[in-house]
């Protein structure tokens, strides 16, 4: 179609903090999509959290007009937690700008996002950003990209998104090299790549028109992003825009449109510090789910913490962002339990399965030894290593997700003095040699503190947990034994007599001075009082119960 010849659809893919949003700002400025007087940093980042952290959390489309062409940009997140959003965006475009920081060079998410784009057969336009910085390594990064893409260095564009240097060349390259939209014959005329719920308009879907004109229908609204939502009467094939459907259920609409919902990778429970705020938390989660289809939540109850929600997240950053939004936007003070992964247990076969991921680490060669030592202490298998340049190594590992989310990122940064980067993608479920650790306080089980751990780490984890509990639980009127018991994950009913004690700590009893009222006299009187106290404490040990306050749980989780 003649109209499609003037359309170019593309996205920007990059590792986090490589200047993606700043480059988008310059595009908007050069194409006069936004008046220069109204420009601000990170225009396409809608949330305060995005601007504060300098990261993109939600994808955002925008329509620009430049040299008689319509350029539809989808600004995608750079963090690995949101790779599902990147995947959906790539399905709606024909080209991708691969943006690389001139100082940091190619990093893990650069490669991960590049592979996704190559799987979609997108035209890749490589761009080196931040060439204005004094410590920019333009020639070295040029070599890294050249080897990564197997292209001549002269095909790599160089820009400073901050100053605008070279940005116009990128827009010209998009018009010249990104293919025209393809006329696709499908049963549906639109591709939905994102959606949210609006209380007035119902479900609002972000769409790419596929094969025929999309006309406005009664009780519907269609439009484009400039970057604010702008009403139009018609969308042509190849165009990117939105449709306000009037539908009331977001999940049902997405399922009807063939939208694949990403599965949660990380799980944690959220409890309000004040149980009077339970319904506030419930309403807040429901509101967040209207605009975030990847968030899962189910109500649950804990003896120690009261009523709360078991929530599923795409990763640790997703969890952090959701909890921060609950605190900021709804004024909630929360207890967040230690993040865990989802396990699948087949009792008939005595099999437990856990999620595995493909882990990619980009590290300078001089830190390779420390990083490999870190990886050797974890479960998993080294799959490949290859050089991106003479000084940069790409390491590929297959590893259980549980090992990645438990402080691995901080340890990696420490081992590499902050120079290593990582990304991971799911590989599915695999059999694991896992056991359950149960906590006994005064021979009474505390279900809220149970955890599933790899058998090889059970002893160390048990000792660490016992020591923490000893330090945190206040003294009682009787001595309290803290025991960490090893049990099979396939056992349903807990029996005090079963299971092997891996670690034990003793919390001594509070001692009241029962002889303080005596002033001299026969020592046998003093001895009699001490014996009576000893018998009382012995009896209390056999029948006494320890109640763990929510404050202890909060401090325990804060140390996890």
- Within 8 A by CB and 6+ apart from 249, the residues are 203
Q: Is 261 helix (H, G, I), strand (E, B) or coil?
A: coil
- Please indicate, yes or no, whether residues 422 and 350 belong to a single structural domain of this protein: yes
pLDDT of residue 518: 57
CA end-to-end span of the chain: 59
Give 556 or 119, the one with higher predicted confidence. Answer: 119
Q: What is residue 443's predicted lDDT score, i.e. its pLDDT?
A: 81
Q: Is the pLDDT of residue 496 over 90?
A: no
Judge whether residue 81 has pLDDT over 80: no
The pLDDT score that the predictor gives to residue 508 is: 79
Cα(209)–Cα(359) distance, integer angstroms: 35
How many of the other CB atoms lie within 10 Å of CB of 555?
A: 13
Q: How confident is the model at residue 219 (pLDDT cuts 50, 70, 90)?
A: confident
**How high is the pLDDT of residue 514?**
47
Classify residue 165 as exposed, middle or buried by CB count within 10 Å of its CB (0-12, 13-18, 19+).
middle
- Residue with the two structure tokens 């990304």: 423
Residue 242 has pLDDT above 80, yes or no: yes
Q: Are residues 133 and 158 in the same domain?
A: yes
Last residue of a domain, one of 398, 431, 464: 431
Least confident of 28-42, 187-201, 350-364: 28-42
Domain boundary among 307, 336, 365: 336
22 and 170 inside one domain: yes
Looking at the structure, do residues 35 and 135 belong to the same domain, yes or no? Answer: yes
pLDDT higher than threshold 50 for residue 543: no
**What confidence score (pLDDT) does residue 540 get?**
43
Under DSSP, the state recorded for 133 is S
Q: What is the pLDDT of residue 539?
A: 45
Predicted pLDDT of residue 58: 78
For tokens 């999620």, the residue is 355
Structure tokens at 217: 């229908």
pLDDT at res. 497: 58
Task: Give the CATH number for residue 238.
Answer: 2.40.30.10
**pLDDT over 70 for what percent of the chain?**
84
pLDDT for residue 529: 57
Mean pLDDT of 394-421: 88
- Residue 29 sits in the same domain as residue 123: yes
pLDDT on residue 321: 87
Do 70 and 20 belong to one domain? yes
Which are the contacts of 536, defined by CB distance < 8 A and separation ≥ 6?
none
- Model confidence at 541: pLDDT above 50: no
Report the helix count and the strand count for the chain, using DSSP H and E. Answer: 15, 27
Residue 182 falls inside a structural domain: no
In a shared domain, residues 216 and 331: no
| Per-residue pLDDT tens digits for 146-159 | 988 999 999 999 99
pLDDT for position 284: 92
DSSP state letter for 389? S
Q: Are residues 88 and 167 in the same domain?
A: yes
Is 185 contained in some domain? no
Same domain, 440 and 416: no
The tens digit of pLDDT for each residue in 413-439 reads 889 888 888 888 889 999 999 999 988
Is residue 317's pLDDT more than 70? Answer: yes
Same domain, 321 and 351: no
In a domain, 498, yes or no: yes
Buried-state track 231-266, b at ≥16 Cβ within 10 A, e below 16: ebeebbbbbbbbbbbbbeebeebbeebebeebebbb
What are the tens digits of pLDDT across the range 93-135?
999 999 999 999 988 888 888 888 999 999 999 999 999 999 9
Farthest-apart Cα atoms in the chain, separation: 112
207 with 245, same domain?
A: yes
pLDDT tens by residue, 25-57:
899 989 998 876 666 655 565 566 666 666 677
Domain that holds residue 451: 435-558
Residue range 355-360: mean pLDDT, rounded:
93
- Token pair of 386, please? 């290859």
CATH for 16: 3.40.50.300
Q: Which of 513, 506, 505, 509 is nearest to 477 (CA)?
A: 509
More confident residue, 469 or 555: 469
Which pLDDT tens digit goes with each residue over 502-532? 999 888 776 655 455 555 556 676 666 556 6
* pLDDT value for 382: 92
Indicate whether 270 belongs to any domain: yes
Domain boundary among 256, 274, 307: 256
Say how many domains are in the chain.
5
**pLDDT higher than 80, residue 459:** yes
Quick one: average pLDDT of 496-500? 68
pLDDT in tens, 364-382: 899 999 999 999 888 889 9
Per-residue pLDDT averaged across 53-62, rounded?
A: 77
Do 427 and 440 lie in one domain? The reply is no
Identify any residues that bridge with 272 across adjacent strands, giving them in sequence order.
334
Residue 549 has pLDDT above 70, yes or no: no
| 3-state SS class at 324 | helix
């Amino acid at each position: 179609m003649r109209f499609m010849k003037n359309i170019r659809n593309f996205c920007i893919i990059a590792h986090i903090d490589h200047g993606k949003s700043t480059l988008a700002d310059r595009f908007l400025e050069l194409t006069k999509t936004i008046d220069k007087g109204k420009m601000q940093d990170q225009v396409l980042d809608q949330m305060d959290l995005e601007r504060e952290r300098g990261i993109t959390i939600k994808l955002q489309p925008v329509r620009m007009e430049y040299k008689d062409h319509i350029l539809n940009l989808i600004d995608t997140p750079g963090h690995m937690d949101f790779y599902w959003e990147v995947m959906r965006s790539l399905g709606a475009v024909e080209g991708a700008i691969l943006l690389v920081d001139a100082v940091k060079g190619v990093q893990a998410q650069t490669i991960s996002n590049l592979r996704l784009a190559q799987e979609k057969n997108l035209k890749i336009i490589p761009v080196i950003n931040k060439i204005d910085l004094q410590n920019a390594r333009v020639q070295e990064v040029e070599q890294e990209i050249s080897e990564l893409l197997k292209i001549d260095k002269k095909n790599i564009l160089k820009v400073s998104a901050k100053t605008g240097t070279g940005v116009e060349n990128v827009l010209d390259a998009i018009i010249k090299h990104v293919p025209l939209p393809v006329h696709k014959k499908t049963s549906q005329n639109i591709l939905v790549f994102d959606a949210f719920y609006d209380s007035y308009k119902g479900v609002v879907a972000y769409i790419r028109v596929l094969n025929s004109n999309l006309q406005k229908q009664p009780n519907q609204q269609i439009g484009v992003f400039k970057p604010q939502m702008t009403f139009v009467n018609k969308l042509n094939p190849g165009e990117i825009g939105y449709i306000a459907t009037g539908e009331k259920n977001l999940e049902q609409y997405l399922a009807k449109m063939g939208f694949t919902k990403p599965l949660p990778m990380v799980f944690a429970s959220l409890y309000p510090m004040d149980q009077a705020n339970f319904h506030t938390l419930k309403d807040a989660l429901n509101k967040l789910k209207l605009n975030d289809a990847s968030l899962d939540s189910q109500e649950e109850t804990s003896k120690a913490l009261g009523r709360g929600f078991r929530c599923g997240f795409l990763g640790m950053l997703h969890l952090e962002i959701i909890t921060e939004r609950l605190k900021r936007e709804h004024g909630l003070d929360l207890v967040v339990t230690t993040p865990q992964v989802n396990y699948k247990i087949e009792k008939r076969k005595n099999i437990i399965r856990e999620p595995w991921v493909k882990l990619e680490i980009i590290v300078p060669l001089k830190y390779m030894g420390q990083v490999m030592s870190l990886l050797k202490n974890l479960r998993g298998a080294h799959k490949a290593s290859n050089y991106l340049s003479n000084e940069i190594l790409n390491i590929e590992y297959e590893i259980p997700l549980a090992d990645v989310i438990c402080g691995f990122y901080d340890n990696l940064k420490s081992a590499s003095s902050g120079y290593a980067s990582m990304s991971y993608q799911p590989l599915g479920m695999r059999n694991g040699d896992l056991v359950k650790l149960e906590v006994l306080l005064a021979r009474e089980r505390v279900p809220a503190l149970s955890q599933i751990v790899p058998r090889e780490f059970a002893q160390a984890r048990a000792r660490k947990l016992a020591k923490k509990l000893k330090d945190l639980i206040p003294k009682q009127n009787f001595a309290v034994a803290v025991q960490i018991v090893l049990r099979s994950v396939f056992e349903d009913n807990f029996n005090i007599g079963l299971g092997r004690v891996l670690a034990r700590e003793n919390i001594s009893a509070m001692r009241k001075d029962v002889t303080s009222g005596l002033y001299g006299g026969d020592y046998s009187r003093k001895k009699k009082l001490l014996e009576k106290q000893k018998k009382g404490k012995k009896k209390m040990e056999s029948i006494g119960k320890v109640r763990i306050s929510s404050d202890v749980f909060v401090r325990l989780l804060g140390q996890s």
